């Protein structure tokens, strides 16, 4: 092997190629607490949809509650960036499937919201104080909510233990609140005061021994975790790393052309003595990398046109990106989320139907949410793409095998929420926000969690002086609870939760029962769970 070839190989491997995709380096770690991998006889996929930069969630999910949680208090605090209290329906107007009027993007974005009084009021246990609306740019999400297929988790954020405004000076708080990198790490680790921990989905892959033939998914080269949003700590464990793929990629290596030399991989293994500590790691990594490349160039490539007969709300191909003219907006969409959810749908088909896998976690990322300025011109495009991506993804799942949407749960995350008050034409870093849940067979059309006091300087604001308060809202639901509820749905046993979310016990309604900290995904679970509808 020449030194040049050696350098090129390690550059490719360490740059996120073969070894990162196959989870090779993780096998150097030993002594990690393990449990027998569960023997699942069904299929479930969890899709983590990460909104980078801190989504302005209270212009996506608009509070319509009562008292201090009312729309009037929301509008008073938001000022010039408040979404108008104008009820809309998702009727098509020309080529435009959303109903907000106005000539500019900002006027359409702030022009109204979809409300659910007639639907939500019929639910058992309806609480008017937790009523919401959905932004005008998101008619597809509004329809999924109305159909009981989507829900919102409100006022959720990073916590070490429960805290109220009066306890801010005495309770332990997460370090580096309002900082992008640190709070992103808190979302990735699920452990607000241990930002150096491995990711919670990576720890789950370790727990279920996804790297072994006797573990979950039978040691498949795909592993448990697949990222179409780059390398994420969230999916990385001691023994496992995610398969990091591009939404447009159908192979890791081109095994069908001369540029790929399988003998080169074998030579690398032979150059290391059998007792060299890297020998086993590299041999396994090389084998799994080739297996993964073959899988992508075969099964995955064959799914290229599998949704060709389906259409998006504009009459175009499913997952295609509408242009500015179709959107009736000043600019087109990035297409980032649409491409990624298309790739996830294809890989679900491969994992579920062709590889016989039982569990998969997917990571999808979307940027652009750090809008300190020009919120009303930037945020509408982001919300429009979220709504279209979730709609197209649901349409694809409904088409697979007679409908598998109940087997797939989409859950959004973001660095943090934004200030309820504005800084002129944008919002700043804050604390609690709202997340979206879709699918999974959950009882949707509901709000999970408690809306905050929406007054600047009120009981939920970190600051007390209304004249200086920004509306940094204190979470009433911990990210640990949210993530643990996702994992419960996914099949994680109650006695395994403490290993994934060590602070979860601080939020237990009944000490010693991890399940008492979960959110209620279904109405049958609601009794005794104070944090949900």
Measured between alpha carbons, how far is 231 from 202 in angstroms, rounded to an integer? 12
Judge whether 502 and 36 are in contact, CB under 8 Å.
no
DSSP secondary structure, 202-218, as one string: HHHHHHTTTTSTTSGGG
3-state SS, residue 382:
helix
3-state SS, residue 370:
coil
Judge whether 207 and 499 are in contact, CB under 8 Å.
yes
Structure tokens at 38: 């569960």
Measured between alpha carbons, how far is 134 from 64 in angstroms, rounded to an integer? 10
**What pLDDT does residue 266 have?**
56
Judge whether 450 and 87 are in contact, CB under 8 Å.
no
- Output the pTM of the full model: 0.87
Structure tokens at 427: 């919002």
Range of the domain at 390: 31-250+304-525
- Condensed to tens digits (0 to 9), the pLDDT of residues 77-96 reads 999 999 999 988 765 554 55
Judge whether 57 and 414 are in contact, CB under 8 Å.
yes
3-state SS, residue 195:
coil
Judge whether 299 and 354 are in contact, CB under 8 Å.
yes
Q: Does residue 173 form part of some domain? A: yes
CA 32 from chain centre, in angstroms, equals 26
**What pLDDT does residue 89 have?**
75
3-state SS, residue 467:
coil
Q: Does residue 5 form part of some domain? A: no
Q: Does residue 265 form part of some domain? A: no
Structure tokens at 52: 């980078």
- For the chain, the residue count is 533
**What pLDDT does residue 255 have?**
46
CATH of the domain at 163: 3.40.720
Structure tokens at 65: 């509650």
Judge whether 496 and 207 are in contact, CB under 8 Å.
yes
Torsions phi, psi for 107 (to 5 deg): -65, -35
Structure tokens at 411: 């859950």
**What pLDDT does residue 38 have?**
86
3-state SS, residue 70:
strand
Q: Does residue 19 form part of some domain? A: no
DSSP secondary structure, 153-166, as one string: EEEEE--SS---GG
Measured between alpha carbons, how far is 103 from 362 in angstroms, rounded to an integer? 38
Q: Does residue 394 form part of some domain? A: yes
Closest CA to 209 of 348, 14, 482, 26: 26
**What pLDDT does residue 286 have?**
59
Q: What parts of the chain have a pLDDT lower than 50?
A: 1-32, 94, 118-124, 253-258, 527-533
**What pLDDT does residue 19 have?**
38
Q: Does residue 264 form part of some domain? A: no
Measured between alpha carbons, how far is 70 from 336 in angstroms, rounded to an integer? 34
Q: Does residue 244 form part of some domain? A: yes
Structure tokens at 223: 């592993």
Q: For the chain, how far is it from start to end, CA to CA, in angstroms? A: 64
Measured between alpha carbons, how far is 381 from 441 in angstroms, rounded to an integer? 29
Please give the share of the chain, as a percent, with pLDDT higher than 70: 79
Torsions phi, psi for 380 (to 5 deg): -60, -40
**Phi-psi region for residue 209, left (φ > 0), alpha (ψ -120 to 50) or beta?**
left
DSSP secondary structure, 96-121, as one string: B-S----SSHHHHHSS-EE--HHHHT
CA 504 from chain centre, in angstroms, equals 20
* HSE-up (13 A, CA, CB side) for residue 527: 1
Measured between alpha carbons, how far is 300 from 521 in angstroms, rounded to an integer? 32
**What pLDDT does residue 35 have?**
57
Q: Does residue 296 form part of some domain? A: no
- Condensed to tens digits (0 to 9), the pLDDT of residues 3-37 reads 444 444 433 333 333 334 444 333 333 334 555 67
When divided into structural domains, the chain yields a total of 1
Sign of torsion over alpha carbons 333, 334, 339, 340: negative
132-135 β-sheet, strand order:
61-63, 132-135, 113-114, 87-88
């Amino acid at each position: 092997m020449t030194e040049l070839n050696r350098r090129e190989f390690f550059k490719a491997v360490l740059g996120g190629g073969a070894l990162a995709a196959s989870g090779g380096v993780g096998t150097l770690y030993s002594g990690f607490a393990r449990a027998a991998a569960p023997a699942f006889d069904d299929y479930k996929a969890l899709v983590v949809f990460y909104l980078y930069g801190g989504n302005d969630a209270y212009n996506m999910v608009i509070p319509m509650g009562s008292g201090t949680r009312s729309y009037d208090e929301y509008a008073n605090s938001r000022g010039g960036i408040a979404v108008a209290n104008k009820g809309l329906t998702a009727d098509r107007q020309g080529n435009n499937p959303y109903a907000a009027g106005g000539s500019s993007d900002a006027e359409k974005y702030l022009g109204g919201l979809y409300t659910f009084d007639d639907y939500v009021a019929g639910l058992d246990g309806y609480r008017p104080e937790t009523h919401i609306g959905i932004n005008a740019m998101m008619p597809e999400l509004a329809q999924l909510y109305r159909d009981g297929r989507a829900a919102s988790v409100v006022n959720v954020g990073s916590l070490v233990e429960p805290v109220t405004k009066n306890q801010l000076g005495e309770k332990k708080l997460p370090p580096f609140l309002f900082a992008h990198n640190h709070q992103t790490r808190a979302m990735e680790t699920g452990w607000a005061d241990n930002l150096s921990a491995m990711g919670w989905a990576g720890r789950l892959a370790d727990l279920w021994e996804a790297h072994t033939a006797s573990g979950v998914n039978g040691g498949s080269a795909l592993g448990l975790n697949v990222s179409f949003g780059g390398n994420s700590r969230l999916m990385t464990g001691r023994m496992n790393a995610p398969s990091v793929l591009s939404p447009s990629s159908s192979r890791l290596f081109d095994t069908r052309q001369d540029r790929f030399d399988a003998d080169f991989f074998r030579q690398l293994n032979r150059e290391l003595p059998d007792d060299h500590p890297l020998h086993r790691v590299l041999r396994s990594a090389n084998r799994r990398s080739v297996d993964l490349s073959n899988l992508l160039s075969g099964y995955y490539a064959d799914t290229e046109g599998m949704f060709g007969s389906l259409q998006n709300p504009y009459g175009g191909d499913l997952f295609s990106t509408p242009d500015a003219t179709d959107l009736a907006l000043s600019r087109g969409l990035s297409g980032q989320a649409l491409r990624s959810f298309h790739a996830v749908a294809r890989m679900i088909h491969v994992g579920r139907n062709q590889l016989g896998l039982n569990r998969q976690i997917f990571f999808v990322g979307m940027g652009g949410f750090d809008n300190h300025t020009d919120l009303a011109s930037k945020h509408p495009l982001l919300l429009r793409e979220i709504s279209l991506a979730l709609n197209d993804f649901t349409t694809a799942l409904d088409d697979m095998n007679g409908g598998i949407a109940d087997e797939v749960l989409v859950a959004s995350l973001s660095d943090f929420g934004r200030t309820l008050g504005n800084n002129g034409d944008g919002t700043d870093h804050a604390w609690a926000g709202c997340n979206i849940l879709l699918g999974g067979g959950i009882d949707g059309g509901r709000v999970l969690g408690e809306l905050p006091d929406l007054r600047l300087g009120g009981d939920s604001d970190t600051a007390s002086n209304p004249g200086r308060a920004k509306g940094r809202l204190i979470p009433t639901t911990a990210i640990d609870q949210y993530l643990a509820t996702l994992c419960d749905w996914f099949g994680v046993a109650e006695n395994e939760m403490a290993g994934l979310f060590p602070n979860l016990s601080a939020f237990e309604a009944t000490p010693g029962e991890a399940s008492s900290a979960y959110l209620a995904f279904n109405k049958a679970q609601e009794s005794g769970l104070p944090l949900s509808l």
